[in-house]
Amino acid sequence: QVQLVESGGGLVQAGDSLRLSCAASGRTFSSYVMGWFRQAPGKEREFVATINRSGGNTYYADSVKGRFTISRDGAKNTVYLQMNSLKPEDTAVYYCAASTRPYSARASLYDYWGQGTQVTVSS
């Protein structure tokens, strides 16, 4: 079992940056693949980024590639999402998730989810 708590969301203007954090507690953090997903009003939850257990491999949705960076700090049991050049279409609730399965962009393969943090980007 692992508990996930996101933080760092807020209201920003287009072109600004934000860094989201997700603190994990419970079982060994390094045993989980970690991912970020987002859900905009009226839309389904979509994949944003994922990072493997060692932190050596990352994978991004095309919509955020080159603008967002996922990273993890094992000493702090935390995964981050650095978001640069934010656009109004990035507005969503952002969720952190943990998986005991292989590295994947599929939400159904993630076992644990945080409560989410709101990111709003104004034009």
At 56, is the pLDDT very low, low, confident or very high (cuts 50, 70, 90)? very high
| pLDDT reported for residue 48 | 98
The whole-number average pLDDT for the span 3-13 is: 97
Q: Residue 27 above 80 pLDDT?
A: no
Residue 89 phi/psi, 5-degree rounding, is -70, -5
Question: What is the C-alpha separation between 114 and 91, in angstroms, rounded?
Answer: 18
| pLDDT reported for residue 103 | 83
Question: What is the C-alpha separation between 39 and 57, in angstroms, rounded?
Answer: 24
Percent residues over pLDDT 70 in the chain: 99
At 26, is the pLDDT very low, low, confident or very high (cuts 50, 70, 90)? confident
Who contacts 122 (Cβ-Cβ below 8 Å, separation ≥6)?
11, 12, 13, 14, 88
| pLDDT reported for residue 28 | 86
